[in-house]
Chains A and B, each alone.
Chain A
Amino acid sequence: MNRIFSVLSLVVLAMLTTGGNVLAALTVEEFEIEGLISPASPKALSEALEKRLQVKVVDLNLKNSSTGWPLLSVEFDSDQLTRNDIEQAIASIEDPAGHTYRVHQGPAVVSAPLTDEEKAAIALFGSAPPNIQVLTNPIESTSESVARGKELYDNYCSTCHGLQGGGNGPAAHGISTFPGQLWVWNNADSSEDGYLFWFITEGGSDMPPWGVILSENERWDVINYVKTLTKPE
């Protein structure tokens, strides 16, 4: 009898210490979050959500989600709360920058197809923004490729962009647009390769079209090197 009593009391004690969650149905769901725009946002959202509802923020994946949207994993008791409750709570939390968050629904409309009116205007006044192809860098970013890229960069690019990529080369003073600070491309994702290759090939504003001087492989070497430039201290 004593043994049964002690087992029962242990169960009750365990329920009390875990807040009655022993029999609760804990689920983890993921929410794509809109509105995380500053370094203070992730912490503010997690803390405010845990304060408002009986939930636990398990993870906030900022960079590696498949859709690109920050992914918030929340553990909650599905007997007491629904996904909708959490979405509403997230929508009522204010970011330090002064706007509210939102759970992202559906794919983002990045650019709707051109309207007939726009097409007519393009036909009359010239082309729309360039159609930049998605390209894959055929040259692996090895130390040899980076060394080749550095030699080309020092010869052709550094006069304007500077040896460190700070946009402050000796010739930068003589041109009307400030050359780009190339260290922003440090470790850039491979999805940016198409843009970089297009810009180097075609040039822009005061930058000449290097496609007429550098071969394709040389341009890819330069891209591999540019991605290794770091922000000067």
Chain B
Amino acid sequence: MVERIKPPRMRLPRRIKKDDVFKVKVRFEHPSFTGLGMVDTETMPAFNRAVPVTFIRNMLVYYGEELVTRFNMTSAIADSPLFTFKLKAVKEEPITVAFINNKGERWEVSTDVKFTT
């Protein structure tokens, strides 16, 4: 279980031409835990609260000012997930990805899209 949260990182292809469909990769080191543990093996199932529940609840993607997609997650999400999605390069504006976890904390990462000729 990851215990430290690090700022998210984003990666775009080096060359993006106008109207290309390109991949965006976002990595966020954040713990994910249902909060449950199984400590009593005599009865099945016997879960108890083990640690406070922690997970990334929402990922919001902005292209320029426009909100282009939303990822809605549960505690089933992996530790430090890597998200990959595709966008169409229609404008030279920054892509901003915002994460909000179940405690309402927010993180953000942003990268500019520049067209190559």
A69 to B39, CA, bound (A): 12
Do A121 and B58 have beta carbons less than 8 Å apart? Answer: yes
A69→B26 CA distance, assembly (Å): 35
Chain B at the A interface: mostly helix, strand, loop or mixed? Answer: loop
With both beta carbons as reference points, the residue of chain A lying nearest to B52 in the complex is identified as: A108
Q: Which of A39, A67, A68, A113 is the one whose CB lies under 8 Å from B104?
A: A113
Report the interface size class on chain B: 20 to 34
Which residues in A have their C-beta under 8 angstroms from that of B74? Answer: 129
> At the interface, yes or no: A166 with Cβ under 8 Å from chain B?
no
Query: Which of B9-17, B80-88, B95-103 has 4 or more CB atoms under 8 Å from chain A?
Result: B95-103
A residues within 8 Å of B by Cβ? 34-39, 41-42, 62-63, 67-70, 99, 104, 108-113, 115, 117-118, 120-122, 124-125, 128-129, 184, 186-187, 231
Tell whether B46 is near chain A: CB-to-CB under 8 Å.
yes
Q: Which residues of B contact A (CB under 8 A)?
A: 1, 3, 35, 37-41, 43-46, 48-53, 57-58, 60, 67, 69-70, 72, 74, 98, 100, 102-104, 106
**Docked pose: A138 CA to B86 CA in angstroms:** 48
6 A-B pairs with CB atoms under 8 Å apart are: A37-B37, A37-B50, A39-B40, A110-B102, A112-B104, A117-B98
